[in-house]
Amino acid sequence: MDKYLSGQAILMKDLYAHLPHLYVFVTVVECGSFQAAARRLELPRSSVSKRVAQLEQQLGLRLLQRSTRRLNLTAEGKALLDAASPLLPAVQRLSHLTQESQLAQGQLTGHVVITSSTLLGERFLIPLLSDVKQAFPGVVVELRLNDEVVDLIAEGVDLALRIGKLPDSSLVARQIGIKRWGCLASPNYLARHPAPQTPYELAEHQCIVLKTSTYRLDHWSFQQPGGDSFQLKISESSIADDGRTLVAMASSGMGVIWGDPAWVKAEIAAGKLAEILQDWRSNSESPIHWVSLGRQARNPAVEAVWQFLGERLGERLEERDCSKQ
């Protein structure tokens, strides 16, 4: 044990290199389990376990003895805990002071990765990025538009816009809007294929379905006038792998799509798309969430953009009648 305590000075000297993982390690010890620490840190359990393992690898030490029932500190882990515990509160406070100072002086710097589905990002997020740049000129925003479901931790993503119910996780999610659903087609297509009068007639139409590697939107929701809601399994004549392509294909006259009419107001105003089956529109809706890792995983730049865009995205979605129709 003496050699580990004597090595504590070395650990203190190198603490700065391991701070990103030290807070997670200390929290795991305080909570007694990875799961409890994940709840406190608002991080996935897998991320907590991974960060502790990375810390052990960096130090070349075994810090925790893991069993099915409990975690026990090794001698090395206790030495590190003793060295780190007094330092972390000061580091936390320094981080907050640094962020406040940078914001006050307009000097906030950093790199923020944001992901969104294609149509949602194009119509609502991109128009706000110039405001982000004006507010935080030193922050580099990397935007990734993709209709696949992205693993934030695995892909190195800081913030995400997501549609639909979120699976149980420790991600922080703020609902900022609602997506509603309806059927749309181009006037050109409808001139060749008279508009269906009931959803059941869609079987006789060319329908374009959104399909990615993780989901397939081929069950469309409807509601009988004054009656119950129901879903129809749609047989596709064409497939698109992202929302922007889906809208472009429908606008070109290829067939009927299922989406939010409020998101394609420009195409409707330009005579490229028209809503059909309006009397059968379902009351079903999908929540839109602004998603992030837990607060402890957000650096000052990410925290600033998280707060800044969270408010403005909700306002923009409300203005475009996505939350109220």
What does the block give as tokens for 90? 């000061």
User: Which residue type is seen at 93?
Assistant: R
Beta-bridge mates of residue 238: 208
Pairing between β-strand 159-163 and β-strand 110-116 as defined by DSSP bridges: parallel
Q: Which of 33-47, 61-75, 96-110 has the least mean pLDDT?
A: 96-110
For residues 207-219, average pLDDT: 93
Residue 271 has pLDDT above 80, yes or no: yes
pLDDT at 296: 63
Neighbours of 128 (CB within 10 A): 15
Q: Which band of pLDDT confidence, cut at 50, 70 and 90, is reported for residue 41?
A: low
| Amino acid 22: pLDDT | 81
Q: Beta strand 274-276 with 208-211: parallel, antiparallel or unpaired?
A: unpaired
Higher pLDDT, 79 or 153: 79
* Cα of 52 vs its chain's centroid, Å: 24
Which region holds residue 106: left if phi is over 0, alpha if psi is between -120 and 50, else beta? left
pLDDT, position 317? 87
Express as a percent the part of the chain with pLDDT over 70: 81
Give pLDDT, residue 15: 55
d(CA 145, CA 231): 29
- List, for residues 279-317, the tens digit of each pLDDT value: 999 888 899 999 997 766 678 889 999 999 998 998 888
Looking at residues 171-181, what average pLDDT do you find? 90
What pLDDT, on a 0 to 100 scale, did the predictor assign at position 325?
Answer: 39
CB atoms near residue 227 (< 10 Å)? 8
Instruction: Note the pLDDT tens digit of each residue in 91-140.
Output: 555 555 555 555 555 578 889 999 999 999 999 999 999 999 999 999 99
- Evaluate if residue 186 carries a pLDDT over 90: yes
Spatial distance between the Cα atoms of 22 and 85, rounded to a whole number of angstroms: 9
The tokens describing 33, both together, are 């389990």
Structural contact between residues 76 and 11, judged by C-beta atoms closer than 8 angstroms: no
pLDDT value of position 28:
83
Report the pLDDT value the prediction gives residue 124, as an integer from 0 to 100.
94
Percent of the chain with pLDDT over 90: 48
pLDDT single digits (tens) 69-80: 678 889 888 888
**What pLDDT is recorded for position 104?**
53
Residue 130 pLDDT: 95
Greater pLDDT, 235 or 59: 235
Whether the CB-CB separation of 128 and 309 falls below 8 Å is answered with: yes
* Rounded CA separation 221/236 (Å): 15
Mean pLDDT on 201-230: 93
> Tokens at residue 296, please?
């402890």
pLDDT at 219: 96
Tell me what pLDDT residue 10 has.
45
| Mean of per-residue pLDDT scores for the chain | 84
| CA-wise closest residue to 121 among 306, 263, 323, 267 | 263
Residue 254 to residue 238: CA distance in whole angstroms? 8
Q: Residue 46: what pLDDT? A: 80
Is 43 a residue whose pLDDT tops 90? no
Structural domains of the chain, ranges and CATH numbers in brackets? 2-85 (1.10.10.10), 108-178+287-319 (3.40.190.10), 182-283 (3.40.190.10)
Backbone angles phi, psi at 86, to 5 degrees: -70, -20
Least confident of 4-13, 55-64, 114-123, 300-309: 4-13
Against a cut of 0.75, is the pTM above it?
A: no
Q: Rounded CA gap, 104 and 127, in Å? A: 25
What's residue 2's pLDDT?
Answer: 44
Q: Please give the Cα distance from 50 to 52 (Å, whole number).
A: 6
Comparing 294 with 200, which gets the higher pLDDT? Answer: 200
